[in-house]
Structure 1
Amino acid sequence: MPWDLAIVLILLLICIVLFILDWPRMDVVALSAMVILPVLGIVSVNEALAGFSDPNVVLIAALFIIGEGITRTGIALQVGRWLARNAGKSEPRLVVLLMLAVGILGSVMSSTGIVAIFIPVVLSVAGRLQIHPGRLMMPLSVAGLISGMMTLVATPPNMIVDSALESQGIEGFSFFAFTPMGASILVLSVGYMLVARHWLKRPDGETQKRSRRRTLVSFVEEYRLEKRAFRLRVSPESRLVGNMLREVDLRQRNGVNLIGIQRTIRGQKRVLNPVAQTVIQADDILLVDLVNPENDLETFTRDLGLKHLPLKGVYFTQQSQFVGMAEVAVSPESNLVGKTLVDATFRNEHGLSVIGLRRGGEAIEGPVTEEKLRPGDILLVIGPWKQIHLMQTQQLDFIVLSLPVEIEDAAPARSQAIYALISLAVMVGLMVFSVVPNAIAALIGCLLMGLFRCVDVETAYKSIRWQSVFLIVGMMPFAVALEKTKGIELAVDLLMNALGGAGPRVIIAVLFILTTGFSLVISNTATAILMAPIALTIAGQLELSPYPFVMTVAIAASAAFMTPVASPVNTLVMGPGEYRFSDYVKIGTPLTLLVLIVCVILIPWIYG
């Protein structure tokens, strides 16, 4: 074996071991290898840094921003709520709708991102149906992984094998080239999970130790707020119409805490944060907390010309996209110690209302505005999510103790949802019809997202998972190094000799097994970078179309079902689903074998 090939293989082995140990970070390992290879003279500096100019790296970064736009505008959340409504009380229907929704949404945004969005939705539905969340979390992660098989841009391995084709002067895959395989596997997996979810049932006597964050409903129960919330419509004849809130002073005169104002603006319902200068309009819906339950609501509404409307859900949890809650503790160094909330002008200073107070572990009933605050008092605040986030920066006065899971529901750019859909449609259209290169199409989509204020510049940069980007860039020189040192030829020769002239379907099966095996211990992105050149070389030696072989690598790289560390998607659901390592093996191994069979049957037929 040539010494330069030996060095490359040793370095690659070290990287794989460090990937398995997860220390240091994968991107640091990959970038370190990218530096070492040119230092040792294995590749040139230009070859080592070529990944930074690779169009697919730009495409991957741009797609993170597109996904952030979809999240910030609440599109994914609305799909989740549609799912919850239409599932009813049927667990099988829920599994089917959940997997289809995640599979489709994940085809145009990060699978990790879409699974993170759906986790609180699934927890909520599981609680409503009184089933263990473990029966739903595994279908969620499986659908998230399969969503990567749906389109060209659904996951980095797809774009990597596409880039490998183009680097050899071969036409790459079209946008929907992956869809026949992805849709077939998704349908198969839905049927499989309808059966396999029963294998995740916990023994009846097993204690379930859960560390999930609390929900808005749990806050309402702990602070005994159930009977304090009301929705009141302002009639055109009301004497409140045309007045600013500071002029009517509902709190002092009527003992009413105004939480928000629901108003229709340009055809869309929004919840406004009430401030002193807010002018009340006819048909506004006031979301009020009756501070003193003994107050006469009927007299109050009659005198002010308000109509009592039914309240859906518990307290104001139905408005969780706009209105949030949090528990904050009063710091010993806080300027609020010894003051009442009125003295401290808390609402004016922080844009939030205090609706509950716990002292010594017990919730204080009735009005809390006149209570003098003590160090360690825990306040339950309600108001816009943005203001709640700001409180996290005020560590001298407050310590934010707990945020509910519904914080994931907050959609800062919800009113721009239609523009996010337009931006997404433009990007997909440009890709499907090959009007411009895919990377340019994605950048156009990003610019449109910014132009329509679906994302801002700061959010766009933060949304990019730089670890994934640098992992790809850092691993790319390995493919070049293995090709230059004849490592790929050696691997192909060993593989072909071992197979002894087997047919294409056998080779596809072996490629699938090897790719899946590597994906269990290292990133599926890194696996695709290493396996795509091998697949292309095998196709060249057999004088067959390269498409079935590289498609096998892409599909297998996403079939990371068997361990919790094989994909971030699996890791995300492990805690909420209360899974053990063995659960992934039990569910993932049969599913992987089924996907292998589908690939061996369909890939040569569709792509041959």
Structure 2
Amino acid sequence: MSFDLLITVACLACAVAMFLIGRPRADAVALIMIVALPLSGVITVKEALAGFSDANIILIAALFVLGDGLARTGVAQRVGDYLIARGGSSERRLLTLVMSVVGMMGAWMSSTAVVAIFIPIVIRIARQSDIPRARLLMPMSMAALTSGMLTLVATSSNLVINSALIYRGFRGLPFFSFTPIGVPILAMVIVYMTFASRFLKGSGRSEASNRPSVNDWVARYSLQGRAFRLRVAGHSPLVGKTLGRGGLGDHPDAHVVAIERRAGMGTTLLLATSESNIAPDDVLLLDADVTAFNVQSFCERFSLIVLRMSGAYFTDQRHDVGMAEVIVPPDSSLIGNVARSSVTLRRHGVTVVGLRRADAAVEHDLQNTRLKVGDTLLVVGPWINIFTMQSVEHDIVCLAMPIESEAYVPVPHKAVYAIGCMALVIILMLIPQVPNVLAGLIGCLLMGLLGCVSLDSGYRAIHWRSLVLIVGMLPFSIALRRTGGIDIVADAVLRLAGDWGPHGLLAAVFAMTLVVGLVISSTATAVLMAPVVIAIAEHLHASPYPFAMTTAIAASAAYMSPISTAVNALVNTAGGYRFQEFFKIGLPAAMAALVITIVLVPWFWPAYLH
């Protein structure tokens, strides 16, 4: 073993050790390696930084932006609503629907983003269906990981392996090359988890369990039965008038929280003030004390139609209507002011719908109640107003945001445009003459042009830590190849499993990838394993594609560890699982994925074709 190889292996061992310890952060470890390898003289500075110019890095960044467009326009949340409507109370049906939808969505956008969006949705499903959240969250994460096996762009590890093939002079993988193997594995995981999920208990302690929900606040502030959605008929005498002139601007027992109005292909939520004009077909979101305000008589008088509400206190409109719990501090200018006529709160476009004083809810006459130090207020308004108030207002202190705040959708009326942009990107990626990175950038530009994303939200959507991690680990493949390390590992694998035949050799590659993936991320695993498996194929004078496909699928089958992927880490926090639960539930699924892979990969990608 040469001195340069010893240095490279030492650097790699240090990186893995830091990954295991968790300090410093994974992206910081990658930056350390970018500096250490050139200083050792094994590679040049230019080679260490070459990853920043890799087209796949740009493509991964573009995919983060495209996924953010789907999230900001509410595509994912609407799918969650569909799950709640169709799943009913059957745990098995709900689990199957959740896993199927998450798996399909993860094929087109970041699985981490999908899981982040669906955690509050799944927790809400669990609460409404009286199902322990632990029995739904881990199945969801397994479906999200498996989604990486469905398309080329489903996960960054696929793109890393595709890049390694191109770097070695081979053709890149087709867009749907993973689908024939990924779909059976996803089906297997869904069937398996419908039985295995019953053994999931979690610890009962989770970050998400400490978050209040809107339903919690409905009970805490005695808001049951106070919410109404009233459609304004075309012949209503309110049409053309303001809320103040219509008699609802300053009514002591009823207050219009917001106005829903049709806009283009969707609806928009408008702040309700005394000066707000009323148009035909507007929907008034009314908070009313039914003991003192006759809603039915009001509707008859003004030709208003009461619309059905399936959830408590505007939870049907949770994507538009935001809620927050705030407290009045000692130095607040709100002290002595009437809660509902506060200029400060109206400036932020929110209104008070609940007040607690001395640990008791004030249920009546909010219009005339003056605020005192320590009063806790429940405020309602458009989500964007809630977030703005939380970040800039000093006269109130935000105590809590509900779990539903994670499902905020800034531009729901742009959903059709976002879906169209994503469809166009997929079509362009299927055209051989159009590079994938160009297709991704076209999609990003179109989403920006159509208002699905903004420049600021696009930059925020890119997971820079992941990109730096990939870039920082790429120099190891150059260093290991230059120092002969890759050939040594490839020879060792061939000596061990070379006589096992094509299926046995693929099984050895799958198992080796799984073991590496227990301690480091799937992306870093792909970076390290890709050159090794390509070298194995070259030693055998065989096609590299079955080995590359096997490695990519194994990298996504990271079911057994809560620390190696962001998907599992998010779910571990929300579900309060123990490490043993991940390993106990994930191992059989990984072994089943191994069997499916070594059966199907040689069929679709013959192992010894030159």
Q: TM-score, normalised by structure 1?
A: 0.96
Of 10-19 and 247-256, deviating more is 247-256
C-alpha distance in 2 between matches for 1:304 and 1:255: 17
Equivalent residues of 1:149, 1:558 under 8 A apart: yes
The residue matched to 2:322 in structure 1 has which SS?
A: strand
Kindly report which structure 2 residues correspond to 1:198-213, keeping only aligned pairs within 5 A, or say none: 198-200=198-200, 211-213=209-211
Give the aligned partner of residue 16 of structure 1. 16
Deviation at 1:254, TM superposition (A): 6.2
Give the aligned partner of residue 502 of structure 2. 504
C-alpha distance in 2 between matches for 1:260 and 1:333: 30
- State the identity %: 43
C-alpha distance in 2 between matches for 1:444 and 1:152: 18
Give the aligned partner of residue 271 of structure 1. 269
Deviation at 1:485, TM superposition (A): 0.8
Letter in 2 for 1:377: D
Gaps of 5+ in 1: none
Deviation at 1:495, TM superposition (A): 2.2
C-alpha distance in 1 between matches for 2:146 and 2:498: 33
Instruction: Tell me if 1:421 matches 2:419.
Output: yes
Deviation at 1:36, TM superposition (A): 1.5
Kindly report which structure 2 residues correspond to 1:549-588, keeping only aligned pairs within 5 A, or say none: 549-588=547-586
Deviation at 1:480, TM superposition (A): 0.3
Deviation at 1:494, TM superposition (A): 2.2
The residue matched to 2:515 in structure 1 has which SS?
A: helix
Equivalent residues of 1:228, 1:293 under 8 A apart: no
The residue matched to 2:49 in structure 1 has which SS?
A: helix
C-alpha distance in 2 between matches for 1:381 and 1:71: 25
Equivalent residues of 1:492, 1:537 under 8 A apart: yes
Are the structure 2 counterparts of residues 494 and 308 from structure 1 closer, same or farther at C-alpha, using a change threshold of 3 Å?
closer
Equivalent residues of 2:244, 2:250 under 8 A apart: no
Equivalent residues of 1:527, 1:557 under 8 A apart: yes
Give the aligned partner of residue 332 of structure 1. 330
C-alpha distance in 2 between matches for 1:207 and 1:496: 46
C-alpha distance in 2 between matches for 1:188 and 1:207: 28
C-alpha distance in 2 between matches for 1:345 and 1:293: 28
Equivalent residues of 1:212, 1:576 under 8 A apart: no
Of 577-586 and 62-71, deviating more is 577-586
Deviation at 1:334, TM superposition (A): 1.4
1:425-469 alpha-carbon deviations (Å, 9 max, x no partner)? 111001012241101110000001101000000000000000000
Give the aligned partner of residue 138 of structure 2. 138
Give the aligned partner of residue 255 of structure 1. 253
Equivalent residues of 1:257, 1:291 under 8 A apart: no
Instruction: Tell me if 1:380 matches 2:381.
Output: no
Equivalent residues of 1:346, 1:353 under 8 A apart: no
Kindly report which structure 2 residues correspond to 1:407-556, keeping only aligned pairs within 5 A, or say none: 407-499=405-497, 501-556=499-554
1:172-193 alpha-carbon deviations (Å, 9 max, x no partner)? 1010001111101001111111
Are the structure 2 counterparts of residues 207 and 495 from structure 1 closer, same or farther at C-alpha, using a change threshold of 3 Å?
closer
C-alpha distance in 1 between matches for 2:204 and 2:457: 41
Give the aligned partner of residue 50 of structure 1. 50
Give the aligned partner of residue 219 of structure 2. 221
Equivalent residues of 2:253, 2:367 under 8 A apart: no
C-alpha distance in 2 between matches for 1:508 and 1:207: 40
The residue matched to 1:501 in structure 2 has which SS?
A: helix
Deviation at 1:343, TM superposition (A): 5.6
Q: TM-score, normalised by structure 2?
A: 0.96
1:339-372 alpha-carbon deviations (Å, 9 max, x no partner)? 2235632453221110011122221111223222
Deviation at 1:267, TM superposition (A): 4.6
How many equivalent pairs are there? 605
Deviation at 1:298, TM superposition (A): 3.7
The residue matched to 1:263 in structure 2 has which SS?
A: strand
Of 36-45 and 297-306, deviating more is 297-306
Are the structure 2 counterparts of residues 88 and 486 from structure 1 closer, same or farther at C-alpha, using a change threshold of 3 Å?
same
Give the aligned partner of residue 598 of structure 2. 600
Equivalent residues of 2:66, 2:422 under 8 A apart: yes
Give the aligned partner of residue 296 of structure 1. 294
Kindly report which structure 2 residues correspond to 1:369-408, keeping only aligned pairs within 5 A, or say none: 369-408=367-406
The residue matched to 2:500 in structure 1 has which SS?
A: coil
Are the structure 2 counterparts of residues 447 and 416 from structure 1 closer, same or farther at C-alpha, using a change threshold of 3 Å?
same
Deviation at 1:248, TM superposition (A): 3.7
Of 76-85 and 158-167, deviating more is 76-85
Give the aligned partner of residue 70 of structure 1. 70
Deviation at 1:597, TM superposition (A): 1.1
The residue matched to 1:250 in structure 2 has which SS?
A: coil
Gaps of 5+ in 2: none
Give the aligned partner of residue 170 of structure 1. 170
Equivalent residues of 1:562, 1:585 under 8 A apart: yes
C-alpha distance in 1 between matches for 2:238 and 2:204: 54
C-alpha distance in 2 between matches for 1:464 and 1:266: 29
Deviation at 1:280, TM superposition (A): 0.5
Of 527-536 and 271-280, deviating more is 271-280
Deviation at 1:125, TM superposition (A): 1.7
The residue matched to 1:214 in structure 2 has which SS?
A: coil
C-alpha distance in 1 between matches for 2:264 and 2:47: 54
Letter in 2 for 1:245: L
Of 557-566 and 7-16, deviating more is 557-566
Give the aligned partner of residue 350 of structure 1. 348
Letter in 2 for 1:402: A
Equivalent residues of 2:263, 2:413 under 8 A apart: no
1:555-597 alpha-carbon deviations (Å, 9 max, x no partner)? 1111111121121111211233332111111101111111111
Instruction: Tell me if 1:116 matches 2:111.
Output: no
**Aligned-residue RMSD, C-alpha:** 1.8
The residue matched to 1:272 in structure 2 has which SS?
A: strand
The residue matched to 1:252 in structure 2 has which SS?
A: coil
Moved segments of 4+, more than 6 Å: 206-210
Are the structure 2 counterparts of residues 347 and 303 from structure 1 closer, same or farther at C-alpha, using a change threshold of 3 Å?
farther
Letter in 2 for 1:215: S
